[in-house]
Amino acid sequence: MKVKSQNSKVKTKQYITENTLIAEVVERYPDIAEILTEDYGFHCVSCFAAEMETIGMGAGGHGMSAEEIKRMLTALNKLIGQDSKNK
């Protein structure tokens, strides 16, 4: 499944990184919210904390290891069509 960006005017590649705010990811790629919740336990996607918390902070708070975070970021970037090396 490829996830489309809500912001079609963005022309540069935008990777999801550990430093990307959860709210920014959900706003840009709404379908990612379900994936974050169901596959990774990020029930905070609709919480006020998502405005201030990064993907890395959320993942760490949910007990994910550095390797698990790396795999998650790779998977999310593939879903949005940005194959990356966690840039």
**Has residue 69 been placed in a domain?**
yes
- The predicted-structure confidence for 12-58, as pLDDT tens digits, reads as follows 557 999 999 999 998 999 888 899 989 998 877 777 878 899 999 99
pTM for this prediction: 0.76
pLDDT for res 17: 96
**Has residue 85 been placed in a domain?**
no
Per the structure, the complete domain to which residue 45 belongs is given by 22-79
pLDDT at 86 over 50: no
Question: Number of folded domains in the chain?
Answer: 1
**Has residue 60 been placed in a domain?**
yes
Contacts of 8 (CB under 8 A, 6+ apart): none
**Has residue 73 been placed in a domain?**
yes
Q: How confident is the model at residue 10 (pLDDT cuts 50, 70, 90)?
A: very low
Q: Which helix (H) or strand (E) holds 33?
A: helix 31-40
